[in-house]
Amino acid sequence: MRHLLLLFIIFSCLAAVLPGCEPKESLVQTSGKLEFDRDTVLFDTVFTTVRTITKRLWVYNRNSGAVRTDIALAGSQGATYSLIINGDAAPAKADVVLRGGDSLLVLVRAVLGDNGQATRPKQFLVTDQLNFLTNGNAQNVKLVAYGQNAYFHRADIIRTDTVWPTDKPHVIINSPYTPPGGTAFPVGVAVLANVRLTIPAGARIYCHAGATMQISGTLRINPVFMPSDTVKATNRNIVRFQGDRPESAYADVPGQWGGIFFTESSRNNVVRYCDIKNANFGLELLNPGDNTARPNLTVENCTIRNISGANPAYAAVGGLPGALVNVGGTLTATNCLLTNCGEYAVLGLGGETNLNFCTVANYFQGQAQRQTPSVFFTNAISTASGTSRVRTDVRVWNSIIWGSAGVADELLFENSDAYYPANAANGSLSVYNCLIRSREYASATDAPDKPGLANPAYQNLLNVSPAFLRSPDNGGSPYNFGLDVASPALNRNPQRTPLSVPPVDLLNIGRDLNLPDLGALERP
């Protein structure tokens, strides 16, 4: 026992005087390089003066031992590109130790200045590199950003008649605005009463998160553009509204920006040959007081898609969710395609709504299953003082209203007995020569609050597939809501008065004026 005690004392003494033993992965070696998850950090189509999203660069030490490295931007030193290295914001960081088999995260963002170009081309390239010096080994990762000059609108209050130029894109960003004697609210662009904003053919408008346009005067989009041939999806003369996220993952994500709304003083608005996508709401007339001098809007040859107000990040933007929303205004839509709306494609609360040769193909591809009908009308308007019943006039003619198989009624009316059949005091309701998915109105006879839309006199087709060329119904992708050769919507006798048969369809294909096809797209 005494011998064991003596050995223990000897080993304890040796441990006290010998140097400590570190794990191999913590020992700093004098050779070895780093590896990276990419050789270039790319920012595609960055608008000048707007901070980009954050990109991640992973740095790996594949060596068995630790290495020391110096990290630094080569050129901009924070003027264009900014870094967060292992949690520290700085353009450079020296003597960074990576244990063997460990990794390091570098976050990269960019803000590009305007390069002063006033004529085409507007895009330009801004490059830099992130240098790593490890055990005398120099390595780098390229930083590349494609810059895009633009016109920026932050609380842009338009006080005189204005025509937006089309030589550069327009970027709309909400900022606080306080009207005279009023309360501050966020807005990107506000057109004052009795003032006209014209957005001509070819304009590109990119809207930042939550951005809105408030029209109290007049908005005219593509008012004179008349294509001479078929309108292709890539036609540069179509005016396009979308979010400002350039990544392909956001190309068709709803709810990225607010929308365009028209106040009760707005008059004579025209939106033509326009593509609006990825918003909380599309075009919205707001006259909740049901003033008899109504705001009015004509929409022709437009697509409105990927619309949903379900994104909680933008809940404060305001506006009811829908591609076309009419609250006490006068709305006329012709040759319009409305699709992928999470709540409503068309929402009418009072006022007058006319849909003629429109296609509602509402297959919402969001995370949640849509619970609302695609098209909904009511004569009830809710205000701060309560709910009031207002005059409601609805015409849905020569159109297709279809959507997800899980929704049995894509067209619904609330309190329809008040305005159907036509009542001179309360309004009118007419649904004629349409193809509709509807369980509630599939009868040929009327019932309380249930118009019998299958009455042969109305020439409607109820619960018969429109046979789109490609849709979720037949597994097709990308979608094409034109009509198959066997579609029952082909060659229908139209309702003509007071809404006319347009001579061309959404894509500017000539219509058979005697037996046109239903919806926005005539089969060629």
Query: Which among 82, 37, 42, 79 has a CA at the least distance from the CA of 59?
Result: 37
Torsions phi, psi of 457, nearest 5? -65, -25
pLDDT reported for residue 524: 92
pLDDT reported for residue 395: 97
Torsions phi, psi of 25, nearest 5? -70, -15
DSSP state of 468: E
Strands 189-191 and 346-349: unpaired
Its pTM stands at 0.86
Q: At CA 266, angle to CA 261 and CA 269, rounded to 5?
A: 80
Maximal CA-CA distance, the chain? 117
pLDDT reported for residue 342: 92
pLDDT tens, residue by residue, 396-419: 999 999 998 889 999 999 999 988
Q: Is 467 exposed, middle or buried (0-12, 13-18, 19+ CB in 10 A)?
A: middle
pLDDT reported for residue 18: 46
DSSP state of 137: E
CA atoms within 13 A on the CB side of 384: 0
Query: Which among 286, 283, 303, 282 has a CA at the least distance from the CA of 295?
Result: 286
Burial annotation 337-367 (CB, 10 A radius, 16+ → b, else e): bbbbbbbbbbbbbbbbbbbbbbbbbbbbebe
pLDDT reported for residue 25: 53
Provide the residue type at 106 as one letter.
V
Which residues of the chain register pLDDT less than 70?
A: 1-26, 76-78, 115-123, 311-318, 366-368
Residue for token digits 């919205």? 284
Bridge partners, 510 (sequence order): 504
pLDDT tens, residue by residue, 227-283: 988 998 889 999 999 999 877 888 889 999 999 999 999 999 999 999 999 999 999
Provide the residue type at 392 as one letter.
T
* CA-based torsion, 152, 158, 160, 164: positive or negative: positive
